[in-house]
Structure 1
Amino acid sequence: MIKMDKKRISAVVLAGGNSTRMGQNKALLELGSKTIIERVVEILKTTFEEIIIVTNTPKVYSMLKDVRFVPDCFESREKKSIIGLYTGIFEAENNYAFVVACDMPFLNTDLINYMIDNIGDEDILVPYINGYYQPLHAIYNKSCLRSIRTLIDSKNYKIIDLFDYFDNLKVKKINDEILDRLNITDSCFLNMNTYQEYINIKQYIGFL
């Protein structure tokens, strides 16, 4: 298998949600001296040359430098991750995009690099850990765009339906065994949807 050139993969951060359960923009919550999204971007910059932030409110992320802001391709009353997913892949300069959420402060560069090194002719490379897909920690090819658009047009906003219900898409899974072999815990997929989860994470990493 030919290893993928890292310069041929873009990074996409989805920062367009309403954070309804959190009650405020979770990307701007602080862990230590930095916001969560700053930590996410800082990690991504160690690997990717192009970093895209999908958001309709770029001004609130003015602290982020050397990134590209793009708005959602589709207008929708409901802020759905799948719309940001489509937008980020579509806007990426490269055929492949590593897509993550804006509230994942424990991204692991070893796992990211392993995924990059192991993408071949697949349309999607996605972790499947403890019986669950991690669709917002996955690599997507632009070949997925038509299938994603099909889901959006049918008002099916479940990204995981890409992995099992489209025979035309070749999906490769990263399983628990690989994480164990790399000595990586599943905390790299951790995100936060409520303020209590945010407090728990702050306590976990000693910022309180």
Structure 2
Amino acid sequence: MQISHNQQFTDHNDITGVILAGGRSRRMGRDKATLTVDGRTLFERAHDAFDGVFAQILIAGERPDLASAAVPYFADEFPGSALGGIHGGLRAAQTPWIFVTPCDLAAPDPNLIRHLLPYRHSYEAVVPRTPAGFEPVFALYHKNCLPVMEQMLRAGNYRIYEFYDHIRTRFVESDELPTGWQTALVNLNSPVDLEQLNQEAS
């Protein structure tokens, strides 16, 4: 499969946007990627957030139903975990960096994405850290991360927080994030979350 490349995007042409779509959505009980919020599926919202930022976008996970000629999918070698999805995205990308986002954010914000990009210099990962904890699936990763990831995954260790101990990680604290980050990082994990969001939108 060929990854699309739109020549108008030159500022961040070392980064591929990776939509993580290999999760099993156990708590939601249905496929989160196809859930609709205000007329757009969560997958479409993730794609829209990337579309104005990155020339290259791909799907990490075996999702031919979501893929297109412009946005191909790549099955995870180690399916079923965030670390495995990030690993799959890094292996598939033709750029040294990827920015990952999951398919359960209701309002992923391209301004927040752009804000995080300059932090990548001299590091191998850039990860927001808020009072609620790390945001490992809304973050930047360099291909230098692959050897450590593969070692952990082959050993059956899927704990992504341990992974950060082995690479140069820039944690971006909440007071360094732009206004509105709280809304951008709200994820939908259960039917109750979805119902509440739709009530707020109505």
Whether these two folds match at TM > 0.5 is yes
Partner SS for 2:197: helix
Q: Distance in 1 between matches of 2:109 and 2:172?
A: 14
What's the TM-score once normalised by structure 1's chain length? 0.87
Partner SS for 1:10: strand
2:188 aligned partner: 192
Q: 1:13 aligns with which of 12, 19, 23?
A: 19
Partner SS for 2:13: helix
Which 4+ stretches in 1 moved above 2 angstroms?
none
Contact 1:40/1:107, CA 8 A, preserved across alignment: yes
1:170 aligned partner: 168
Cα deviation 1:129-164 (Å, max 9, x = unaligned): 11511000110000001111122122121212112x
Q: Distance in 1 between matches of 2:81 and 2:44?
A: 22
Q: Specify every segment of 5 or more residues in structure 1 that has no aligned partner in the other structure, as ranges.
A: none
> In the alignment, does 2:73 pair up with 1:58?
no
The CA RMSD measured in Å over matched residues stands at 1.7
Contact 2:112/2:181, CA 8 A, preserved across alignment: no
Contact 2:119/2:170, CA 8 A, preserved across alignment: no
Q: Distance in 2 between matches of 1:134 and 1:152?
A: 20
Q: Specify every segment of 5 or more residues in structure 2 that has no aligned partner in the other structure, as ranges.
A: 1-9
> Match for 1:19: what amino acid?
S
Contact 1:37/1:105, CA 8 A, preserved across alignment: no
Structure 1 residue 57 displacement after superposition: 3.0
What's the TM-score once normalised by structure 2's chain length? 0.89
Spell out the pairing of 1:88-167 with structure 2 (5 A cutoff): 88-130=89-131, 132-163=133-164, 165-166=165-166
Contact 2:106/2:188, CA 8 A, preserved across alignment: no
Q: How many residues align?
A: 193
2:198 aligned partner: 202
Structure 1 residue 183 displacement after superposition: 1.7
